[in-house]
Structure 1
Amino acid sequence: MLREEAKRRSGPNAAGNKMKREEIERLRKTVGCQAVLETTAFALDAKESTKRAMKYRRGGQIIIVTHAGRGWLIL
């Protein structure tokens, strides 16, 4: 089963399953990390956040957003 999945991902249609690089860059420029995290049930931990690094939590997962919403650090 794993081999079939690998073939599907690397086959001739694999490029159709991936976003084009230009589209990814456009999304990075227009959509902030905070918006993505908040729509996936991550909550801002205001007590642990600073002006330059915002900490988001979901259960035991922690993501720190830096660089004005352009950088991620997953802990």
Structure 2
Amino acid sequence: QGTHTARFGEIEQRGVALTPKGRQLYDDLLRNAGTGQDNLTHQMHLQETFRAFPDSEFLMRQQGLAWFRYR
């Protein structure tokens, strides 16, 4: 049984549905990114923080962060 709780940008940013492990990493990074700064500083901090999240399908699959199905 699954649920759909994607927030704005989650799937769009990475282009895939995240596994529980991937979702946990995403949530942890988002929490660590903080808020309350001017937009430019905040965007730079987000970019730095999310370097810990792979940006390739190969690495996301290898690390078990996203769902993949092949036919």
Q: TM-score range by the shorter chain?
A: under 0.3
Higher CA-based Rg: 1
Question: TM-score w.r.t. structure 1 length?
Answer: 0.23
Bigger fraction of residues in strand: 1
- Kindly indicate which of the two structures has a greater share of residues assigned to helix: 2
**Which is bigger in relative contact order (C-alpha 8 A, separation at least 6)?**
2
